[in-house]
Amino acid sequence: ECPGTQELQSSLRQAHKLLSAHEASYLQSLRSLRKKLSSLQSGATHGSARPSTCTKLEAPINGRKLGKVLLPGHEVHFLCDLGYELVGSETRQCKESLTWSGQQPVCKELNECASSPCANAGTCTDEVNGFTCACAKGWAGPTCQSPTPTYIDECEVFHNGQAGRLCLHACVNTPGGYRCTCPSGYNVTHDGRSCKDIDECATRQNNCTRDQLCVNTYGSFQCVKVECPRFRDATYVKTSPTRCERNPCPVDNKACPQAPNAISHHHMSVVSNLSAPRVMFRVSAVRVMGDALRFALLGGRARRHFAVQRSDRQTGELLLVSPVQGPAVLDVEVEMSELERRALLGRYITKITVFVSQYEF
């Protein structure tokens, strides 16, 4: 029996609704798929275009660059070769915006003759880290400041130039000759020209007490007393003459674990204007408990003369980045932090006192 007209129209309307529903669902799925593909494509484009480090900096001509890490927060230092001076930023830091602070430095050649140091019509010749004067007839001296004597003053004649200098420190002219002298704390060597430091600690020529350490310096000595620090929430005990270790923390004291686990004291003696860059000290971990070590240079007036760099996974190096004019005493602290999944396991402080001599020998 064939269906009636009403039944046929009802069936057609139901079929039309079903097809319309399927079509709407298909179009919705297609729009969602296109949106996801567009989002993935946009993310891939922006992700690949955005850098994660600062651009690489080049060393200036006639200079050097210290530091290779280009991540935000890290610093790069610049030094010039002997005979050149730095114009621009000595230190540049990679900022969070992935741009460098400061300006790119240049190394400009020094010209000691610019101030016309040679008197009495003397001719100045610029040299690396110095100058020489060619004196006119009748004049002598480093800057042609003295009339020519009727006798030969060996100390004056050989005063300029390291190659022909008679004495390391001071030259005293004598009738028919000369003799060399050294400052207090030094002895004249067997060649009669150089100076050798007297080790007052080894020869017991010092007045240090029994609870002090005698540190020999160039030309003198220092009596040092190492004392453990006093923290509000932590106490320390001296485990050696130069090391203090933290006592176990109470269970309910949350501030105590933040204090350094150990503090070591070291003392160094250097001459004035020691050349840089130079590795001065190394800090190493005997064994690593966590998954990472971090080395940092703590604040202080001496910070501008030093930097910290990593030599391997367990070792950090204290680097002298600029010469120091003596006499001076520099205190610098290197912090080694032990981390496990970015959580602090322990801190170890190395305090280094650098005694800089008045002289360059």
Instruction: Give the model's pLDDT for residue 161.
Output: 52
H/E segment holding residue 28: helix 5-49
Q: Are 156 and 146 a contacting pair, CB within 8 Å?
A: yes
Residue at token pair 């480090």: 53
* Closest listed residue to residue 281, CA positions, set 189, 234, 351, 184: 351
Q: Are 270 and 352 a contacting pair, CB within 8 Å?
A: no
Q: What residues does each domain of the chain span?
A: 63-106, 112-197, 213-356
Q: Any idea what DSSP says for residue 89?
A: -
CA 260 – CA 254 distance, rounded (Å): 13
Instruction: Give the model's pLDDT for residue 350.
Output: 96
Instruction: Give the model's pLDDT for residue 343.
Output: 87
Give the phi and the psi of residue 42 in degrees, each rounded to 5.
Answer: -65, -45
Per-residue H/E/C for 93-154: EECCCCCECCCCCEEEECCHHHHCCCCCCCEEEEECCEEEEECCCCEECCCCCEECCCCCCH
* Torsion, Cα of 6, 7, 11, 16 (10° steps): 0
Q: Are 246 and 238 a contacting pair, CB within 8 Å?
A: no
Cis peptide bond upstream of 72, omega within 30: no
Instruction: Give the model's pLDDT for residue 5.
Output: 75
Task: Identify the architecture of domain 213-356 in CATH.
Answer: Sandwich (2.60)
CATH fold of the domain at 112-197:
Laminin (2.10.25)
Contacts (Cβ under 8 Å, ≥6 apart) of 13? none
Instruction: Give the model's pLDDT for residue 160.
Output: 62
Cβ-count burial of 36 within 10 angstroms (0-12 exposed, 13-18 middle, 19+ buried)? exposed
Instruction: Give the model's pLDDT for residue 156.
Output: 81
Per-residue pLDDT of the chain (361 residues; tens, 9 = 90+): 666 677 777 777 777 777 777 777 788 878 878 887 877 776 665 555 566 899 999 999 999 999 889 999 999 999 998 878 899 999 999 999 999 999 999 998 888 888 899 999 999 998 877 889 999 888 888 999 988 766 677 888 777 655 467 899 999 988 778 899 999 999 999 999 999 999 999 999 999 999 999 999 999 999 999 999 988 889 999 999 999 999 999 988 989 999 999 999 999 999 999 999 999 999 988 877 778 899 999 977 788 899 999 988 889 999 999 999 999 999 999 999 999 888 888 999 999 999 999 999 9
The hierarchical CATH code for the domain 63-106 is 2.10.70.10
> What does the angle CA 52 – CA 291 – CA 334 come to, to the nearest 5 degrees?
80
In sequence order, what are the beta bridge partners of 92?
76
